[in-house]
Homo-oligomer: A and B are copies of this chain.
């Protein structure tokens, strides 16, 4: 598989978690920063290789083959992110782009040895689950901070948006995976939250609360 094919496969995987019925050409183009016509070309090729099920105008889904391959790319991406943070001391907002390159390194042995070296982590630095050697991931019952009960205690277990801007905002607010949240008040007008984090009270907009996973 080429790097380009792998990138398409991974994007289709991520999008099909949200739209399992079938992923749109335009959605793929948007994620890959390319044109719809290029996507159509690639879908035909992936279809030839039995990695996706593609019907003109009807969107695309992953085949069993494609699903397995996509999960292995995600596995590599997330294991490399753990390596970069845990071993090399990168911040969690710095690792995504490097992992985008590292995820295309071919060796199976490499990734399995890396997995072992990292002690078989179940989650990446952003709280996303890492498929094991058989593609199995830990399932977590997580909620968005925006959906949470008042005056109950929650732990931060992940971020939905893992853009550098958002992660840096969290750093500034001293919010990290494991931080404890108690929502004290919810402003009904704009859904702004008054939240106790690390025994300090801060105000959190609805947009922020919609991108923080808690448990």
B-binding residues in A (CB < 8 A): 84, 87-90, 94, 97-98, 101-102, 105-107, 109-110, 113-114, 117
A117 in contact with B88 (CB, 8 Å): yes
A98 in contact with B88 (CB, 8 Å): no
A105 in contact with B107 (CB, 8 Å): no
* A101 / chain B contacts, CB cutoff of 8 Å: 105-107
User: CA A98 – CA B101 in complex, angstroms?
Assistant: 14
A110 in contact with B98 (CB, 8 Å): yes
Contact of A105 among B94, B98, B109, B117 (CB under 8 A): B98
Closest residue to A89 on the B side, CB-wise? Answer: B113
User: CA A89 – CA B94 in complex, angstroms?
Assistant: 27
User: CA A82 – CA B101 in complex, angstroms?
Assistant: 20
User: What are 12 A-B contacts defined by CB distance under 8 Å?
Assistant: A84-B110, A87-B117, A88-B110, A88-B114, A89-B113, A90-B113, A94-B109, A98-B107, A98-B110, A101-B105, A101-B106, A102-B105
User: Dominant SS at the A interface?
Assistant: helix
User: CA A90 – CA B110 in complex, angstroms?
Assistant: 9
* A97 / chain B contacts, CB cutoff of 8 Å: 107
* A87 / chain B contacts, CB cutoff of 8 Å: 117
User: CA A106 – CA B102 in complex, angstroms?
Assistant: 10
A106, A107, A113 pick with most chain B CB within 10 angstroms? A107
* A89 / chain B contacts, CB cutoff of 8 Å: 113
* A117 / chain B contacts, CB cutoff of 8 Å: 87-88
* A94 / chain B contacts, CB cutoff of 8 Å: 109
A109 to chain B minimum Cβ distance, whole angstroms, is: 8
A178 to chain B minimum Cβ distance, whole angstroms, is: 24
User: CA A106 – CA B105 in complex, angstroms?
Assistant: 13
Closest residue to A112 on the B side, CB-wise? Answer: B88
B113 in contact with A88 (CB, 8 Å): yes
Closest residue to A88 on the B side, CB-wise? Answer: B113
A121 to chain B minimum Cβ distance, whole angstroms, is: 15
* A88 / chain B contacts, CB cutoff of 8 Å: 110, 113-114, 117
* A90 / chain B contacts, CB cutoff of 8 Å: 109, 113
